[in-house]
Amino acid sequence: MNHSSLYFRTFLLLLACVSIAFLWVLLPYYGAIFWATTLAIIFSPVHRRILPKVRGKPTISALLTVILIILIVIIPLILVTGALLQEGAAVYKRISSGELDLGAYFEQIVNAMPTSVHNLMTRFGIGDSFGLQEKLSAGALQASKFLAAQAVTFGQNTFEFLIGMGVMLYILFFLLRDGSFLAHRMRESIPLSNEHLHHLSRKFATVIRATVKGNIVIAITQGALGGIMFAILGIQGALLWGVLMAFLSLLPAIGASLIWIPVAIYFLVSGAIWEGMVLILFGVLVIGLIDNLLRPVLVGKDTKIPDYLILISTLGGLAVFGLNGFVIGPLIAALFIACWDLFPSAIKQSQES
């Protein structure tokens, strides 16, 4: 082994160790870094539009863009989250005090079902209505208890939350201001052809924009419409149910229906036929239609990922990365497809060189 080869391998080992150590140091704030990068990609067109109006001063343009993000994204999100946690705590109190008994509602639905349905439930091993009632009540209590605990934790960890938010906004400012330079340096450092780098970077930005903008637009629309309809029908906790529908709408195909279908069934079996039919028609023709019309346009069309793969990668991302996974999951899936698409041309280039 010659001296230059030994030097290069030693340098690669040093580079790998330093990089791993650096990632380890950044790990506690990976969420802040991830969302700073995501928001920088989404709002970079806004930054570029503001830039000529401030005489080409990138610092002022980036600062104005960050202020805009705070006003239209962060403040509304904090307000909704605070209201959700408070409502979750109120629901927990009602369930723990016995004022709200979801198990009794379930028993009422089961008792209203015909004998054939009872026999079918028994055949599949779910005929024990009392056991299901207990599990449902326990599950609802645990879910509401979790929201109540999160409200307490949120209040106790306000300082930590503000630190993370400050880190995210700080990084976001520099990514907006110096994003083009940083992207150029990264492309120079990665040993791939310009064609492959351009394809991967374009896919990365496209999936980030389509997934975040598309999913958030769909989630807000479905959650808001569902919450409004619940409030019109007199269902308590309309805000809580609306936010849950918005969150579940991140899952293609099933989404918000996991909330409004059980409520519609309860209305029908409890004698509130008009309310049940209104909710079913609204859920199918309005909430469901929004998902079927907007998702292919806002998400699938740009990412070119099949719906089933979006569903699986979203569920997997949420399981591995938590809430951040609704972006990270589809992003990894898209880069996986993009890399395998480039694999034949990479082999061809290696054989020619």
pLDDT band at 119 (very low <50, low <70, confident <90, very high): low
- HSE at residue 336, side-chain half, CA atoms within 13 A, is 10
Answer whether residue 164 is part of any domain.
yes
Determine what percent of the chain is predicted with pLDDT higher than 90.
Answer: 7
The answer as to whether 7 is a domain residue is no
CA distances from 312 to 6, 77, 308, 332 (A): 44, 26, 6, 12
Q: Hey, what are 25's tokens?
A: 């140091």
At residue 130 the predicted structure's pLDDT band, cuts being 50, 70 and 90, is very low
User: Is residue 89 domain-shared with residue 229, that is, in the same domain?
Assistant: no
Q: Are residues 35 and 135 in the same domain?
A: yes
Is the pLDDT at 135 greater than 70? The verdict is: no
In a domain, 292, yes or no: yes
In a domain, 185, yes or no: no
Predicted local distance difference test score (pLDDT) of residue 164: 84
| Residue 187 C-beta-side C-alpha neighbours within 13 Å | 16
CA–CA gap between residue 169 and residue 189 (Å, rounded): 26
Does the pLDDT at position 170 exceed 90? yes
201 and 140 in a single domain? The answer is no
Instruction: Give yes or no: residues 282 and 161 share one domain.
Output: no
287 contact partners, CB below 8 Å, separation of at least 6: 222, 225, 226, 245, 256, 257, 260
Q: 217-248: per-residue pLDDT in tens?
A: 788 888 888 889 888 888 877 777 888 888 77
CA dist., res. 135 & res. 16, Å (int): 50
Q: In the predicted model, what is the mean pLDDT of residues 315-338? A: 80
Is residue 163 predicted with pLDDT exceeding 70?
yes
From CA 250, how far away is CA 217, in angstroms rounded?
Answer: 10
Q: What percent of the chain has pLDDT over 70?
A: 70
Instruction: State whether 162 and 222 are in the same domain.
Output: no
148 lies in the same domain as 279: no
The answer to whether residues 311 and 244 belong to one domain is: yes
Asked if pLDDT for residue 153 goes beyond 80, the answer is: no
Total count of domains within the chain = 2
pLDDT reported for residue 108: 59
Reading the block at residue 8, the tokens are: 């290069």
pLDDT tens digits along 251-298: 766 677 888 888 888 788 777 788 889 888 988 888 887 777 776 666
pLDDT band (50, 70, 90) for residue 1: low
Mean pLDDT along residues 11-20: 86
Q: How many helices (H) and strands (E) does the chain have?
A: 17, 0
| Residue range 17-24: mean pLDDT, rounded | 89
Flag whether the pTM goes above 0.75.
no
Tell me: the pLDDT tens digits for 44-100?
Answer: 889 989 988 888 888 999 999 999 999 988 888 888 777 776 776 666 666 666 665
Same domain, 319 and 253: yes
Specify whether 74 is located in the same domain as 198.
Answer: no
Joined tokens for residue 308? 């089933």
Residue 183 CA to residue 179 CA, distance in Å, equals: 6
Residues 198 and 336 in one domain: yes
> Domain boundary residue among 179, 204, 223?
179
- Residue 20 falls inside a structural domain: no
Name 305's Cβ contacts closer than 8 Å, sequence gap at least 6: 207, 313, 330, 333, 334, 337
pLDDT (average), residues 120-125: 57
Lowest mean pLDDT of 9-13, 209-213, 281-285, name the range. Answer: 209-213
Q: Which of 117, 144, 179 is where one domain is finished?
A: 179
Instruction: Give the C-alpha separation, 138 to 116, whole Å.
Output: 28
Domain span holding position 138: 30-179
Mean pLDDT of the 134-139 span: 54
**What is the separation of C-alpha 227 from the centre of its chain, rounded to a whole number of angstroms?**
19
| Structural domain includes residue 352 | no
Domain shared by 143 and 231, yes or no = no
Q: Is the domain of 37 the same as that of 148?
A: yes
* Domain membership flag for residue 127: yes
Q: Report if residue 14 sits inside a domain.
A: no
Asked whether the beta carbons of 332 and 320 are under 8 A apart, the reply is no
